[in-house]
Chain A
């Protein structure tokens, strides 16, 4: 089951069980083979009934699908988690300071620590945000950091996801399902709770309400609507924290203030957790053809009459090209060494690096700078000669459109497959809330590549999820 090339989170190279997995390992041993099969079926029924589905773009026959769920949880020890937590906190603190700086004096550019053209010529940079002061100086309040593990103490950050990360509802529902399926295991292991997330989300949103708002702020979740792939999550979060779920046409701006259309007429809105992209927020400021947004919303925001979560323009800090500078960003603002590592990234605009990349495509991962969801990506070791040739052409044509990284040896976790338990590659997305304080939910979304040997964990590419158990001391 264990593969020497990769770090397995349960089994040591000699086949012995790593300490955090001891109890789970014993439990798995003691289960008849039929049990896991039955649990998987039960889990599917639970998810389907709850309607936890996602829409698949470009799929005509079924607009709603379930993300496969693996019933074997992933375990992280308390000590491992503490280290991750520290590293994440450091990162989100520095990145928020970076955003404040970019939209004010741009000291980091003046200090020559990051090239000016990388910022001002970047599509993700939002000039309309210049000089604006969001409450508490926070830009990115809700963050999902993508982390991969390659060894016992080796964690890399793949992406920071500072715009509108999704997946938190899966973390919560996966836990809910596990508590239904294997209550006895929760009895044996002290698993840190994730159920506090909605309450903490509410506290975070309340803590950044506009200063002019007295009393309990009126919170809404702004969704593109029921056909959006993450609609389930939008409604789930609104429900869990007691906010109103709105679409753009439910809101309007008058006198620089935002209102929603209720059965009793207009009602003032204070905080908007928006799940629509910057470009679509306000047709008067951004894309004029947007039907999803609210005309005048940005002016109301500038006037300090409403808080947008996350702020527009946060994308500049999780841009794939800016990503390479995060270690410098941490050092510049906090004067600290980064706790979590960045994946080394080749710059294809540099001739030497490009030459290296083109010669070694077989070992590398190529990603589109603005791509997401595992689309438009080349995983070298799993690619065909033809695919590599295609990507070589693409890189030569538009070198600045791609970033290239070494293929990381993602850790594996025991996973239930058609042929029994087998090791499959995983990543981790912990969820972070930044408001009056930084709150990191112990756990997160573990995505697992269900195909044997596959390193792509995206749900759109055959990935599934697992519950993530952070143990308490």
Chain B
């Protein structure tokens, strides 16, 4: 397989996953903002959400007021924002188009019809009351693509590259979703562990579609400690950092098998996975959650570089 093909498969999956998670982030920000009583319609929550997604500076260049309508437009439709859902879907499709021969027609049709549908939508049709439904549609389109991938692609190197990209992106995005909490300020009257605090944590769980799964695992009230544990360390949680890194490791192991040659990126992934297996919430909170997540995002990026070098991405 061409190194370029491998890279395109990797990035195709990453961008689909990113589009989904931008929708998830926006969903959290939007829901949180509904509880705000601020002047002039500006939203602290939405501002935090954009900080976590690292698009706050780009946003500030174009908008003065951080209200729902401008943030939603910026995160969904603005192609000046390289991480808007539209930008992501476009890049996913461009990558898919470049590797039409390496993906199945089911995958292509899923991505292509999502793109066609998305590009026909006028922003004013979905901003406002229709926003939650539209974000749901974005998520579902990503599920559909993943379903097409799992149900139709050959289990060879192409599969492994596509899956690796998806899991790396998801790990990055879960870390960022969790980090939103760092940027959200609690009102002075509220305490850590108070209602508002817990409500914010719950939103984070919702963004990961994990608020019900949480109950199954912890049989407990929503607690900050558990929620962070769930999204970082629990391997049964498919959006947790541990799950994603373990899956990346498995895919890189599969590549070693398919090619019959060891790779240094696999070793790097194993190290990351071990770090998560031996880690604990005690350590995370003593280090500081934000510092921990920032460190994770950096090693996750380094892993991408390592994979690109091992398999001649260009």
Chain A residues packing against B (C-beta within 8 Å): 48-51, 225-226, 231-232, 235-236, 238-239, 244-247, 249-250, 260-265
User: Which of A49, A51, A247, A261 has a CB less than 8 Å from the CB of B312?
Assistant: A261
CA distance A159 to B314 in the complex (A): 40
- Closest chain-B Cβ to A269's Cβ sits at a distance in Å of 11
B286 at the interface (CB under 8 A from A): no
Q: Is the CB of B6 within 8 A of A263?
A: yes
CB of B93, distance to nearest CB on chain A (Å): 9
Residue among A50, A226, A235, A262 making CB contact with B2, cutoff 8 Å: A262
Question: Is A250 within 8 A of B97, CB to CB?
Answer: no
A-B contact pairs, 25 of them (CB 8 A): A48-B116, A49-B109, A50-B105, A50-B109, A51-B108, A51-B112, A226-B94, A231-B97, A232-B100, A239-B101, A244-B1, A244-B2, A245-B101, A247-B4, A250-B2, A261-B3, A261-B4, A261-B314, A262-B3, A263-B1, A263-B157, A263-B259, A263-B312, A264-B261, A265-B312
Q: Which residues of B contact A226 (CB under 8 A)?
A: 94, 97-98
Which residues from A are CB-within-8-Å of B4? 247, 249-250, 261
Are A235 and B101 CB-contacts (below 8 A) given A226-B94, A261-B314, A263-B259? Answer: yes
Q: Is B199 an interface residue (CB 8 A)?
A: no
Contact of B100 among A48, A239, A250, A262 (CB under 8 A): A239
Complex: A243 Cα to B2 Cα, angstroms? 12
Instruction: Give the CA-CA distance A235 to B102 in the complex, in Å.
Output: 10
A260 and B109 alpha carbons, distance in the complex (Å) = 28
Whether the pair B3, A263 counts as a contact (CB closer than 8 A) is yes
Within 8 A of A (CB), among B284-314: 311-312, 314
Q: How far is the CB of B9 from chain A (nearest CB, A)?
A: 10
Q: Assess whether B101 is in contact with A238, with CB atoms less than 8 Å apart.
A: yes
New A-B contacts (19) at CB < 8 Å, excluding given A236-B100, A263-B1:
A49-B112, A51-B112, A232-B100, A235-B100, A235-B101, A238-B101, A245-B99, A245-B101, A247-B4, A249-B4, A261-B2, A261-B4, A261-B312, A262-B2, A262-B3, A263-B3, A263-B312, A264-B259, A264-B312
Smallest CB gap from B113: residue in A = A49
Residues of B within 8 A of A225 (CB): 98
Bound-state Cα–Cα, A264 to B5, Å: 12
Interface residues in chain B, defined as those with a beta carbon under 8 Å from any beta carbon in chain A: 1-6, 94, 97-101, 105, 108-109, 112-113, 116, 157, 259, 261, 311-312, 314
How far, in whole Å, are A236 and B100 apart by their CA atoms in the complex? Answer: 8
Give the most central of A226, A238, A246: most B CB within 10 Å.
A226
List A contacts of B312 (CB < 8 A). 261-265
- A51 (CB) vs chain B CBs: closest residue: B112
Q: Chain A residues near B259 (CB, 8 Å)?
A: 263-264
Chain A nearest CB from B174 CB (Å) reads 28
A247 to B8, CA, bound (A): 13
* CB closest residue in chain B, given A264: B259
| Smallest CB gap from B311: residue in A | A263
CA distance A86 to B286 in the complex (A): 84
Chain B residues near A245: list those with CB within 8 A. Answer: 99-101
- A158 CB to closest chain B CB (Å) equals 31
What residues of chain A lie closer than 8 Å to B261, measured between beta carbons? Answer: 264
With both beta carbons as reference points, the residue of chain A lying nearest to B93 in the complex is identified as A51
Distance of A174 from chain B, by nearest CB (Å): 17
Q: Please report the C-alpha to C-alpha distance between residue A247 and residue B94 in the assembled complex, in whole angstroms.
A: 15
Chain A nearest CB, measured from B297 CB (Å): 26
Contacts of B98 in A (CB 8 A): 225-226
Q: How distant is the Cα of A261 from the Cα of B259 in the complex, in angstroms? A: 15
Chain B residues, Cβ within 8 Å of A244:
1-2, 5, 101
Closest chain A residue to B104, Cβ basis: A239
Residues of A within 8 A of B2 (CB): 244, 246, 250, 260-263
**A-chain residues with CB within 8 Å of residue B6 when the two chains form the complex:** 263
B residues near A48, Cβ cutoff 8 Å? 116
Q: Which residues of A contact B100 (CB under 8 A)?
A: 232, 235-236, 239, 245
Alpha-carbon distance between A50 and B108 when the two chains are bound, in angstroms: 8
Residue of A nearest to B100 (CB): A235
Closest residue of B by beta carbon distance from A265: B312
* B108 / chain A contacts, CB cutoff of 8 Å: 50-51
Contacts of B311 in A (CB 8 A): 263-264
CB distance from A412 to the nearest CB of B (A): 34
By beta carbon, the residue of chain B nearest A247 is B4
Contacts of B99 in A (CB 8 A): 245
Contacts of A260 in B (CB 8 A): 2
How far in angstroms is the closest Cβ of chain A from B294?
31
Find the A residue at minimum CB distance from B116.
A48
> In the complex the two chains form, what is the Cα distance from A48 to B261 in whole Å?
41
Q: Nearest chain A CB to B33's CB is how many angstroms away?
A: 36
A235 to B112 Cα, complex, angstroms: 15
Measured CB to CB, the closest approach of chain B to A374, in angstroms, equals 27
Contacting residue for A262 out of B1, B101, B105, B109, CB 8 A:
B1
Complex interface: chain B residues within 8 A of A265 (CB): 312
A250 and B157 CA atoms in complex are apart in Å by 18
Neighbouring A residues of B113 by C-beta, 8 Å: 49
Residue on B with the closest CB to A45?
Answer: B113
Query: Which 8 residue pairs are nearest across A and B when measured between Cβ atoms?
Result: A235-B100, A239-B101, A263-B311, A245-B101, A238-B101, A263-B6, A51-B112, A226-B97
> How far, in Å, is A240 (CB) from chain B's closest CB?
9
Which chain B residue shows the least CB distance to A263?
Answer: B311
Q: Whole-angstrom distance between the alpha carbons of A231 and B99 in the complex? A: 11
Contacts of B112 in A (CB 8 A): 49, 51
**CA of A264 to CA of B108, assembled, Å:** 26
A263 to B5, CA, bound (A): 9
Q: In the complex, what distance in Å separates the CA atom of A246 from the CA atom of B100? A: 12
Chain B residues with CB under 8 A of A49: 109, 112-113
Per the bound structure, the CA–CA distance linking A50 and B6 in Å amounts to 22
- Complex Cα spacing A260 to B261, Å: 19
Q: How far is the CA of A340 from the CA of B314 in the complex (A)?
A: 50
Measured between alpha carbons, how far is A264 from B157 in the docked complex, in Å? 11
CA distance A212 to B94 in the complex (A): 38
The docked-state distance in angstroms from the alpha carbon of A139 to that of B113 is 41
Q: Chain B's nearest CB lies how many Å from the CB of A152? A: 41
A208–B1 alpha-carbon span in the complex (Å): 23
- In the complex, how many angstroms separate the beta carbon of A236 from the nearest chain B beta carbon? 8
For the complex, give the distance between the alpha carbons of A244 and B116 in Å. Answer: 27
